[in-house]
Amino acid sequence: MCGIFGYIGRRKNSAQIVFDGIKSLEYRGYDSWGVAVVADSKIYIKKRKGKIGEANIGNLPKGNISMGHTRWATHGGVTNINAHPHSDCSGKIAVIHNGIFENYEASKEKLVKEGHKIISETDTEVLAHLIESCAKRLPFTKAVNKAFNMMNGLNAIIVLNADDNKLVAIRNGSPLVIGFGKGENFLASDAAALLPHTKKVYFLGDYELAEISADGVIFSDAKNGKNFQPKIQTLNWQVSQTKKGKYPNFMEKEIYEQPEIITDIAVNSPAQAKRMGRIIKKSYGAYLVGCGSASYVSLAGSYLFAKIAKRHINWAIGSEFGYHLDFLTPKSLVIAISQSGETMDILESVKKAKESGAKIFALVNVLGSTLYREADYKMLIGAGPEKSVASTKVVTGKLAILTLLAYSIAGNIKKGQAVVMKAAKSSKKVLEQENIARLKKLARRLKGTEDIYVIGRGLSYPASLETAMKIKEITYIHAEGMAAGELKHGPLALVEKGTPCIAFLPDDETYGANLAGAMEMKARGGYIVGISYKPHELFDSYLPVDDAEEATIIPNIITGQMIAYLLTIELGLDPDMPRNLAKSVTVK
């Protein structure tokens, strides 16, 4: 959730490099920030609460070693003092940290008795003093290693010492990526932040330590101290994908990228889908698991496999999957779905599933991420970096791949290709100017509302959940997605004159029943927004979506994304960084 960036090399403007690095990580969510630089064997730190905005590094001196951090508060309030980096008593050691130092209170009590002065409320400052204490008896790198091994919880840290020309990094659970340059090296919590500098990377594994200098990186096992040679990977992303370009924000850019991404999946993914389809078919007891939007994608996947392949696949939210573990066997397959590949609830589910002997299939967007490495089988979504907190292009990319997988199991991958291509064309039409004008008009109509309800059946049910998620995520308006057949069981009590109801009515077996649900809402005074392949007199507002068979869920969801996005713009809010939320949920 927090952002980390580090630099060591020949360039003396290291503080500016790091500052730009943490600015590129703003989308991860944060409430304070800070930068540290080493100059003349001293550590200089600037840190502030609030957003970076138009801030700058001010009077930080020139130096060739720097690190920076964007903090999401867990221990201690949002204050300048609690922001990272944190230093020890001597001012010679500084630490930045992602995660939770679970047993910090016991260490803090002991350190205070030893005479350490701890001024913030954070667990991270305790770590800086713990390293200082260990360094009285050990060389610096070994002191960092020892202190890290004394921590409980899932963490990633970077430590610098004013007297050493190196950075030391270790992780367990929380992501860290090393970037390799010429005469310089980099560190980040997200690989996308490294793209302006290098594509050569190594994703640190759990309890792996990196001792980083300008000339190279020494890797070792943080448990046994043995050195090892990493397998360096090359990122297949482009720098342009991390920039807004002609768009006012990342969310709009990423929405408009979807037709091309879906087309690429239709063209380039069938061979891998066929291989994975055979593996899914051989499994006995399969689960689709995801968190947030990925949980709705997982639910949609269960419908796709049932409808197309006539195969039952279980579905579970990542944080709830642990309660299903008793049913896993060595023949089971867990299909774990994640944009970042670092979602903590998913990683914990995967770890427990592997202990049961189950195999893991990762559907993930980030090459080399923890989920990617942990999986027995994997498919990359190939959507490129996604920087808006609200996921868009990765959601529809996942759905396109799941559609191909379902058709693969059904033995008709060519039909699957054709269906996904239809979805790409339908999605492109959703984003044409004529339709955008309709959507803008609707956004103006919805601007003053307090509640929005979204209904659907079959594949339109997860579409309704995802659309409601997008609306509440970035507009802060209460929105609820629900199965249309459940209206009589309680939700109708919430409908009054003018209550907006978005109804998905695709050209499939659910059309009549979905229409009946919309009629129930209309009869109670509801304002009906029909998303369908044809108009109907029931609709107060009509948004056309061309039929794409089972993959109609893709352009339907894109329509929902645009409703949420344009309503956010009407409200004058930032769609990229909604309040209280972070892009990658790397803690529990």
Neighbours of 75 (CB within 10 A): 16
Contact of 189 with 4, CB cutoff 8 Å: yes
H helix runs in 285-367, sequence order: 293-309, 344-355
Those residues whose C-beta lies under 8 Å from the C-beta of residue 362, and which sit 6 or more positions away, are 336, 338, 341, 371, 372, 374, 375, 377, 378, 379
Positive or negative, the CA dihedral 265, 266, 269, 274 is: positive
Neighbours of 126 (CB within 10 A): 29
User: Among candidates 502, 561, 560, 490, which has minimal Cα distance to 526?
Assistant: 502
Residue type at position 159: V
**Residue carrying the six token digits 């957003």:** 51
Neighbours of 432 (CB within 10 A): 9
Instruction: Transcribe 170-188 into DSSP letters.
Output: EEEBS--EEEE-SSEEEEE
Cis ω before 506 (30° cut-off from 0)? no
Q: Reduced to 3 states, what is the DSSP secondary structure of residue 364?
A: strand
d(CA 519, CA 516): 5
d(CA 270, CA 159): 45
d(CA 483, CA 513): 11
Residues pairing with 200 in the sheet: 234
User: Among candidates 428, 425, 531, which has minimal Cα distance to 481?
Assistant: 531
> How many residues in the chain?
588
Residues pairing with 40 in the sheet: none
User: Among candidates 124, 162, 125, 168, which has minimal Cα distance to 145?
Assistant: 168
Beta-strand pair 500-505/478-483: unpaired
Contact of 586 with 72, CB cutoff 8 Å: no
- Long-range pairs for 277-282: beta carbons < 8 A, 24 or more residues apart: 277/405, 277/408, 277/409, 277/413, 278/408, 279/333, 279/359, 279/361, 279/377, 280/311, 280/313, 280/333, 280/335, 280/361, 280/405, 280/409, 281/311, 281/409
Catalytic machinery residues: 2, 583
- For residue 269, the Cα-to-chain-centroid distance in whole angstroms is 22
Q: Both tokens of residue 242?
A: 């991390």
